[in-house]
Structure 1
Amino acid sequence: MFNTGFIPQIGQFVIVTSGRDAGQYAIIVRLAEKFVYLADGERIPFDRPKKKNPRHLQFIDHVSLEVQNSMKEIGRVTNGKLRFALTKFLNERISEKEKGDETHGQR
């Protein structure tokens, strides 16, 4: 399916590295032969996912189990669940960065 040796997963977080959405976070909601389909529940709703070449994405080693389970159970995910998963993930990343900054000295 993919020649990169890395297989993307449904529910996996990515950062778009090229195109109009460069720098944006999204979640993989569908896999195709040579492409992945992304959604974020806001700008890119589940009903109209964005088709992207995997070479234009930075894959994050984190998968939303809520999204993955919803896709397995009912074959879709709500936009609210996508927004919740992204917000939760980004808040965790921010808190991890702040913890790292605290260990480098405080005033």
Structure 2
Amino acid sequence: MVVRVDLMISLDGFATTTDQTPETPFGEDWPRLVGAYAATRTFRERVLKDTTGAGTTGLDDEYAKEYFENVGAEIMGAGMFGLHNFPDDPNWRGWWGDEPPFGCPVFV
């Protein structure tokens, strides 16, 4: 069995953002933290379900492609799955709804 760990960290050392709200589920600074990754063609296709072919290619897109390869399960913390009050809603399925963009089971 092989375990792969992936943690995105900004050049200035941040792995999370601040001020999560229902309107900004990943926090106020999320676009700055993941801007290059979120702009890739692979991210747009896999996560945003954008089939137009839009998005950047190159090194960032290659990294994005590798992220989705050979993953058997996604294990995430409660903060990525939902705000800390999500256990109060029995219908909560994550920020993405009924279809996780990961293409594999998700464990919180």
Query: Whose RCO is larger (CA < 8 A, sep 6+)?
Result: 1
Classify the TM-score, shorter chain: under 0.3
More helix by share: 1
What TM-score comes out, normalization by structure 2 length?
0.21
